[in-house]
């Protein structure tokens, strides 16, 4: 059985560590608009425009959430377009 040191005091099994980090990634997929603003380091209006362009806006009930995967794909695409100029 393999173990992973999480910090100086904590050691857990490797399979538990992988499951925990995978769950954290899934949990953090959807961002609030404020979290997306911080993630992109943009103003609210610019974030809203970019998220709409990236097709990253998801409405669930009364909440507006931003799909982080869609944002990352749009950023990668924009980076490729800029490097091809």
Q: Average pLDDT of 27-41?
A: 89
Cβ within 8 Å of residue 83, ≥6 positions away? none
Where residue 85 falls among pLDDT bands split at 50, 70, 90? confident
Residues ≥6 apart with Cβ < 8 Å to 32: 63, 64, 65, 66
- Rounded to two decimals, what is the model's pTM? 0.66
pLDDT at 55: 96
Give the three-class secondary structure for 69: helix
pLDDT on residue 83: 87
């Amino acid at each position: 059985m393999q173990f992973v040191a999480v910090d100086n005091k904590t050691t857990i099994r490797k399979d538990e560590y992988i499951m925990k980090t995978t769950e954290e990634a899934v949990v953090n997929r959807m961002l609030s608009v404020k979290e997306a603003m911080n993630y992109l380091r943009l103003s609210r209006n610019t974030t809203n425009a970019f998220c709409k362009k990236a097709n990253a806006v998801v409405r669930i009930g009364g909440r507006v959430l931003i799909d982080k995967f869609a944002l990352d794909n749009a950023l990668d695409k924009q980076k490729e377009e800029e490097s091809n100029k």
